[in-house]
Amino acid sequence: MPILLDHVNYIYEADTPLAQKALNDICLEIPDGQFIGVIGHTGSGKSTLMQHLNGLVKATSGHIYFDGEDIDGAGFDKRALRSKVGLVFQYPEHQLFEIDVFSDVCFGPKNLGLSQEDAEARAREALESVGIPEELYHMSPFEISGGQKRRVAIAGVLAMKPRVLILDEPTAGLDPRGRDEILHQIKSLQEQTGMTILLVSHSMEDVAEYVDRIIVMNQGSVMLDGGPREIFRHYRELEEIGLAAPQVTYIMHMLSEKGLNVDVDVTTIHEATREIVEALKHP
């Protein structure tokens, strides 16, 4: 089992009067190759949880195993772990610093100890996979557009060839088109490489179309964990914690209540359209 979380707790600012429980007894299994959406409200602990997975934050109690090894165990190489579990932070464009786009993407692979040539090859590959055209390679990362910056920053992590890629709100602050582009690229990346992907978001709409599994976080605990169809069936509970199911779910439920024979479990607009057309053809 690649990643296993065993009763993980995290207390923020432990031992100070500001102490706050950020994670509460988290037990999770993350198998290889899954595309997982991690959903939760601001402050639900989702970002903190993600930072545990590559050892940036140490659990107050509990264990995290990567390939069966305890990541807080003595002699465990955390830097090696960070190359296997790539983490793209919120607003990753804020971490860009090099003189040009290309050398910024090379930063990660070079830190892994790769030669200049290998690092460049990986940077090229990573930039291609996020759709950055070659004419931008030698521009300053501060001259390109917001959406491009974001993709360059994602490429910076991809160039390390992680087995697990965590993206913390990769679409925050992007317009709908930029959002769709990034999400599509992530999906096709996952299909091509079989990488495990964890996509953190507060919007069901964002993830519904792409993921195989959804983990819903609330107040530091895992509230729901399952396939999208299963999760959206709980749409009333989701509403109680300030989240919502995708609009499709609501429409399908309403149609069903009005007597139209449709499957209320569909998750994408595409499926919903087909379902409604079918139901109207054969009443």
Partner 1 sequence: MLRDITLGQYYQTDSVIHRLDPRVKLGGTILYIISLFFFENIFGYLVAAAFLAVVIALSRIPFKYIVKGMKAILFLLLITVIFNLFLTPGTPLVEFFGGRIRITYEGLKYAVFMAIRLSFLIVGSSIMTLTTTPNNLTDGMERMMRPLKLIRVPVHEITMMMSIALRFIPILLEETDKIMKAQMARGADFENGNLIRRAKAMVPLLVPLFISAIRRANDLAMAMEARCYRGGEGRTKMKPLIYQSRDRIAYLSLAIYLVCGIVVGRL
Which of 281, 283, 253, 58 is CA-nearest to residue 272?
Answer: 253
Tell me the β-bridge partners of 216: 39, 224
Q: How far is the CB of 108 from partner 1 (least distance, A)?
A: 4
Binding marks (x or -) toward partner 1, 153..182, rule CB under 8 A? Answer: ---xx--x----------------------
R_g (Cα) of the chain, nearest Å: 20
Considering CB under 8 A, how many residues would be counted as binding partner 1?
27
Q: Give backbone dihedrals phi and psi of 182, rounded to 5 degrees, phi first.
A: -65, -45
The one among 10, 35, 66, 89 contacting partner 1 by CB under 8 A: 89
The alpha carbon of residue 117 and the mean position of all alpha carbons in its chain are separated, in whole angstroms, by 30
The residue (of 92 and 246) whose beta carbon lies closer to partner 1 is 92
The residue (of 95 and 193) whose beta carbon lies closer to partner 1 is 95
Residue holding tokens 């919120």? 90
Stretch that binds partner 1, among 28-36, 91-99, 121-129, 194-202 (CB under 8 A): 91-99
Is 74 an interacting residue with respect to partner 1 (CB under 8 A)? no
Which of 31, 6, 52, 12 is CA-nearest to residue 200?
Answer: 52
The one among 34, 51, 103, 256 contacting partner 1 by CB under 8 A: 51
Is 95 an interacting residue with respect to partner 1 (CB under 8 A)? yes
Binding marks (x or -) toward partner 1, 3..32, rule CB under 8 A? Answer: ----------x-xxx---------------
C-alpha distance from residue 42 to each of 45, 64, 201 (Å)? 8, 24, 9
Q: How far is the CB of 22 from partner 1 (least distance, A)?
A: 13
Residues 100 and 138 sit within 8 Å (Cβ to Cβ)? yes
Q: Which two tokens stand for residue 151?
A: 């993709």
Residue 43 DSSP SS3: coil
Is 119 an interacting residue with respect to partner 1 (CB under 8 A)? no
Q: How far is the CB of 62 from partner 1 (least distance, A)?
A: 20
Binding residues for partner 1 (CB under 8 A):
13, 15-17, 51, 54, 56, 79, 82-83, 86-89, 92, 94-97, 107-108, 111-112, 142, 156-157, 160
